[in-house]
Amino acid sequence: MKVLKIIGIIVTVLVVLVLVAGIIAPKKFDISRSMVINTSAETVFTNVSHFAAFNQWNPWSKLDSAIVVKEEGTDGAVGAKHSWKGNSKVGEGSMTITKIEPSKSVEWALDFIKPFEGHNQAYLNMEATDGGQKITWGMKGSMPFPMNAMMLFMNMDKEGGKDYEEGLANLKVMCEAAPEFAITEVDWVEKNCLAIREVVGFADMSKFFGQHYAKMFEAIAKVGAKPTTPLAVFYKYDEKAMNADVAAAIPFVGKKVLAKGYSNLNLPASKAYLINYFGDYQKMKLAYDAMDAKLKTLGKENPDLVIEEYVTDPMNVKDTAKWNTKIYFFVK
């Protein structure tokens, strides 16, 4: 009985100590780190506002090679959700974009399920500085009484800060190694084209263009007109359905051109934003992401029309780094 009494006294003292510590200890916390990244605001913003890029630079993904990740919603937009489930080191939870200010800040609702439940706010702020962007990445929230007593015995800022430092270092390497895309406003010159428009699956794009470009070049030359640089005219790009409403088009000058199975397409003069892209067609997403970030700073979510102009003939130039594609984005 005496032993039980002593144990009871010890337990009571410990409970009292925890309660007192909970009263004294702070309930709110804010862990953050900052770093300067020497690149454009568009490049940084693309990589911090899209979960596809976040999966590459965050410090936790490498802790579990078998981690299961699920993405929901439109990546890079408010409401997009990133969920993960992994080993004891990464746990289980989700991040949901709650606020975006293009090239300024992104906020996420950060919900942990395992190894403990928690509901916090993650944030990333951008500020222009000499030579690049100052990035501040962090998380803030609160711990309920009396669990907040732990904050007296552990340095959350020191422990958590290591992860944020590592993540920012990864982001810096990723952004500074990414190609820079100069975005300019240009005057699109009116073009008359021979074209064919279809809804084409992503997997069939190369076949579609290859098949029809050759036939259209032949038809234009046959009547004595002069074909110019081939175009891909994108009216709608549907990532969910994995297809696009697109026209393969060959502009021409000179005589009128008529050909069975094809129609005449007029692309009127207009203002457009241009990215002069060099590289493999399969890697053009980087250019599109940069333009997406630029359009968001202008208050535009999506372009009304996109035209790719294939300046380089890949049949004659084997080095993909030299392939030049002019990408025009038309917005009202």
Spell out a b/e string for 121-154, using b for 16 or more CB atoms within 10 Å of the CB, else e: ebbbbbeeeeebbebbbbbebebeeeebbebeee
pLDDT surpassing 90 at residue 90: no
Burial class (CB in 10 A: 0-12, 13-18, 19+), 207: exposed
pLDDT at 132 over 60: yes
> What residue ranges define each of the domains in the chain, with the CATH number in brackets?
25-177 (3.30.530.20), 183-330 (3.20.80.10)
The position carrying tokens 């392939």 is 323
pLDDT mean over 177-198? 89
Query: What is the chain's Cα-based Rg?
Result: 27
pLDDT at residue 24 tops 70 = no
**Is residue 7 very low, low, confident or very high in pLDDT (cuts 50, 70, 90)?**
low
In the structure, what pLDDT confidence band is assigned to residue 308 with cuts at 50, 70 and 90? very high
Residue 173 has pLDDT above 50, yes or no: yes
Is pLDDT above 50 for 222?
Answer: yes
pLDDT band at 19 (very low <50, low <70, confident <90, very high): very low
The C-alpha atoms of residue 133 and residue 128 are separated, in whole angstroms, by 5
For 137-169, the pLDDT digits (tens) are 998 876 654 454 454 455 566 666 788 999 999
Confidence of residue 36 (pLDDT cuts 50, 70, 90): very high
Short-list 217, 39, 12, 70, CA closest to 135: 39
